[in-house]
Amino acid sequence: MPAPLLRPDAGLDPAWPEYADSVRAALLGGALGDAIGYRVETDPYPRLAERHGPDGLAGLDGTDGPAARLQISDDTQLTLYTLDALQEVVEWANDGQPADETACLWLAYLRWLRTQDVPYPAEAPRPLPRRLDDYEVLHAVRGPGGAVLEALRSGRMGEVERPLLPDAKGCGTVMRSAPFGLLPHVGWRTLAPLAINGAAVTHGHPEAQTAAAVYGFTVHAAVRARREGTERPVAAAVAAARETAGNLTRPVAETLARLDDAVRAAEREALAPDALTGLLGEGWTAPEALAVGLYAALRAEVEDAAAADPQSVFRRAVSLGAAHGGDSDSTAAIAGAVTGAALGTAALPPGWLAALDARDAVAEAAERWLREVGAPGA
């Protein structure tokens, strides 16, 4: 019987050759999905299909003229700041010093806030700059979420026990949480509170926090599924995340109900955009975004279960995640990150990477992470 993909106290090993490649692919794949979804976000589907084709991909890779410039949104920006905060925690640990993980996340998000042309709260600490802050593309204002801005501008650090915005259930927690699933050496008992507390920094609704943890579970399980050569690694990762989420002693019912709907739908058929959003929502809340993104990754895998053409699988996952008229950047980013973690960098279309405005920022952040966690050759 194969070992479980998510274990309470055992995690990913950076010495695995698949680990480094999956880290790169998850981060770059998430950024590609984000950028493709961002170019069509909020477009009603008929307008989206007219401008970018039925899958939202027309014009990329020179297929209909010069390749489009792919611009990331705040989703990738905050994902990189999450990664940088976790890297700071690892740096402290490597120096033999403990660190408050949630405080590191808050300080990283405050560093991002300083780039967004909004007033900085006088009562908030002023964190020292880090290398990530030097990338101009991360200073661009690309549709930052209202709850994230409101929480950070309050000058207070949200906590599970003392929520800042108790009703905030938006997808701003999920879209930035892939890096929790890339942490080495830790099992889900450690991953879960890290992701939940990190989400609570800005969003007080329990389901927004839970969905962030389930996303982290899925990314983690996808990396391990790839390592173990699991057949249909995305489906295996989602199943492992769903099972593990049942161990959480906190509100999780909505997240799991949406996830179950996504799994069933992916196994049956490719849903038309209206049917997709009618079943799973438009992705504006955290449970909806997770469900739509994972449906897209699952369905793409069903259509090519052998991953005979991994780039085709990735394109399909991202197109399903983006072409629906809702919060397309977040849902496509989730689809891209999970598919990338499961299939590796061979799945990422080179033409898309060449057009990605944040390619250098994402790639170099991944390399810094891999060096810090001790991945061989990084």
Q: What residues does each domain of the chain span? A: 17-373
Q: What is the mean pLDDT of residues 68-92?
A: 96
pLDDT in tens, 169-204: 999 999 999 999 999 999 999 999 999 999 999 999
Average confidence score pLDDT of the chain: 94
Predicted confidence at residue 247, as pLDDT, reads 94
Classify burial at 44, counting beta carbons within 10 Å of its beta carbon; exposed 0-12, middle 13-18, buried 19 or more. Answer: exposed
Predicted confidence at residue 61, as pLDDT, reads 65
Predicted confidence at residue 50, as pLDDT, reads 85
Predicted confidence at residue 66, as pLDDT, reads 45
Predicted confidence at residue 65, as pLDDT, reads 42
pLDDT in tens, 279-326: 999 999 999 999 999 999 999 999 998 888 999 999 999 999 999 989
Predicted confidence at residue 242, as pLDDT, reads 97
How does residue 53 score in pLDDT terms, banded at 50, 70 and 90?
confident
Query: Tokens 């925690």, residue?
Result: 89
Measured CA to CA in angstroms, residue 361 lies from 36, 107, 117, 135, 188 at distances of: 17, 19, 20, 6, 28
Query: Tokens 């399909």, residue?
Result: 316
Predicted confidence at residue 68, as pLDDT, reads 66
Predicted confidence at residue 44, as pLDDT, reads 84
Predicted confidence at residue 48, as pLDDT, reads 86
pLDDT in tens, 138-175: 999 999 999 999 999 999 999 999 999 999 999 999 99
Predicted confidence at residue 58, as pLDDT, reads 82
Predicted confidence at residue 47, as pLDDT, reads 86
Single pTM value for the model: 0.96
Q: What is the mean pLDDT of residues 335-360?
A: 97
Closest by Cα among 148, 149, 142, 152 to 77: 142
How does residue 135 score in pLDDT terms, banded at 50, 70 and 90?
very high
Q: Are 326 and 332 in contact (CB under 8 A)?
A: no
Instruction: Please name the residues in contact with 162: beta carbons below 8 A apart, sequence gap of 6 or more.
Output: none
Predicted confidence at residue 277, as pLDDT, reads 94
CATH class of 17-373: mainly alpha
In this predicted structure, the answer to whether residue 96 has a pLDDT above a threshold of 50 is: yes
